[in-house]
Amino acid sequence: MVLLGHTHTHEFAAGGTTDQVGNPWALDRSAGGSSGGSAAALASGMVPAALGTDTLGSLRIPSALCGTSAVKATHGRVPIDGIVPLAHTLDHAGPMARSIADCSALLGALAGPGPQSSPLLPPPAPIGPLPVQARPGSRPLEGLKLALTDRPGRQPLDEDVAAGLKAAREACESLGAVVVEHPAPAELAAEHMSAVLFGDMWAQHRDYADRADRYRPSIGALVGAAAGCDAPTYVAAQQARDAFTVEWEGWFARHGVDFLLEPTVPLVAEPRGEGYELGNEGGEGDPLIAFTATWDLTGFPVASLPAGLGAVSGLPVGVSLVGQRGTEAPLLQAAIDLQEHALAPPRPPEGATTAPR
């Protein structure tokens, strides 16, 4: 690989907007974050591949908003040596590209050194060969059972996102998959998610407490909140997270589901803001992480891919396929099949400046 340069990210990868960067589909809209620079560089055709990190959604959010593809592998699959952590037990590193096939090739290289042990879970099983092309024929997903849940009903969906999910479901069925619907487990309590994030953050940032004035306002507020997380609260949150993960594992087993299909984010790219002012700390209650954070908490692998352009907004919408720990190879094969046979990645118009809406 030839390194072309660094792309913008939210400070300490702690945010979902990366407001320094314009969305190539509409420069007055957010590219998403925290790996927004990577997604924008891909969507604009500047580079064929990019890297990002994902703590509560930072690979998948910009991919969905910019119309690119990304893979958040099983936690521990990609070593994170050399990365300044945001929240060690949640952090993932992974590939972003315009296609899932390219992401799969990149993941094979990134995972080459072998998995790391997780503080909460054993390392995933060996990854094995990863697919890089679609299977032939008109029904490559035959034999797979995919599930939709009631999670999208718990969060207001942009009408374009709802239409994209419907199109993805119909595409899966046309390619031979059986699509079923089952209620999802209850979400992890927001205070537990925050305690996991804050406890991990403070372990890193307590060494910088004497330089608090150097943080941007919103990131400083986030670190300040992390300082208030005590050990009993953190331990209780990690225990609740463990039970939450076990519940999701049981859900897949009980229903005989191969993969779950859902929106990546519940909205299309919103207008760019300042991003770093107080009141924009992200985290708990942020709609951008409404679906993505669950899979960082459980460590399950996710393939995120575009599901077309919204008829109302003209902006990209994204969907995700989610599997259980260690299932990257069949998950990526299904995602490649879906993308290559039915959901071709969109390309931004030349000279995009503002969104149609």
pLDDT tens digits for 49-83?
A: 999 999 999 999 999 999 999 999 999 999 998 88
> Strands 259-263 and 145-148, how do they pair?
parallel
Average pLDDT over residues 299-315: 97
Q: Residue 88: is its pLDDT beyond 60?
A: yes
pLDDT band for position 349 (cuts 50, 70, 90): low
Structure tokens, 304: 């995120």
Average pLDDT over residues 143-170: 97
Cβ count within 10 A of residue 135: 16
Between residues 210 and 41, which one has the greater pLDDT?
41
> If you compute the radius of gyration of the chain from its CA atoms, what whole number of angstroms results?
19
Distance CA 342, CA 308 (A): 10
Distance CA 104, CA 100 (A): 6
Q: What is the pLDDT of residue 351?
A: 62
Q: What is the pLDDT of residue 210?
A: 87
For helices 190-205 and 217-226, give the axis angle rounded to 10 degrees. Answer: 100
pLDDT band for position 280 (cuts 50, 70, 90): low
Q: What is the pLDDT of residue 355?
A: 53
Q: In which residue are the tokens 């660094």 written?
A: 6
Q: Residue 357: is its pLDDT beyond 50?
A: no
Q: Angle at Cα 96 formed by Cα 91 and Cα 100, nearest 5°? A: 115
Of 10-14, 102-106, 178-182, the poorest mean pLDDT is in 10-14
DSSP character string of 307-349: EEE-TTT--EEEEEEE--TT-HHHHHHHHHHHHHHT-PPP-PP
The answer, yes or no, to whether the previous bond of 34 is cis (omega within 30 of 0) is yes
- CA nearest to 304, candidates 71, 133, 67, 53: 71
Cβ count within 10 A of residue 352: 19
Domains and CATH numbers, the chain: 11-341 (3.90.1300.10)
Distance CA 313, CA 239 (A): 42
Q: Residue 354: is its pLDDT beyond 60?
A: no
- CA nearest to 275, candidates 355, 202, 217, 197: 217
Distance CA 299, CA 89 (A): 9
pLDDT, one tens digit per residue, over 224-272 is: 999 989 999 999 999 999 999 999 999 999 999 999 999 999 999 999 9
For helices 190-205 and 231-255, give the axis angle rounded to 10 degrees. Answer: 130
- Contacts of residue 202, defined as CB under 8 A and 6 or more positions apart, other chains included, come to 223, 226, 227, 229
- Contacts of residue 263, defined as CB under 8 A and 6 or more positions apart, other chains included, come to 64, 152, 157, 161, 162, 164, 165, 291, 317, 318, 319, 320
16 half-sphere exposure, CB direction, 13 A CA radius: 27
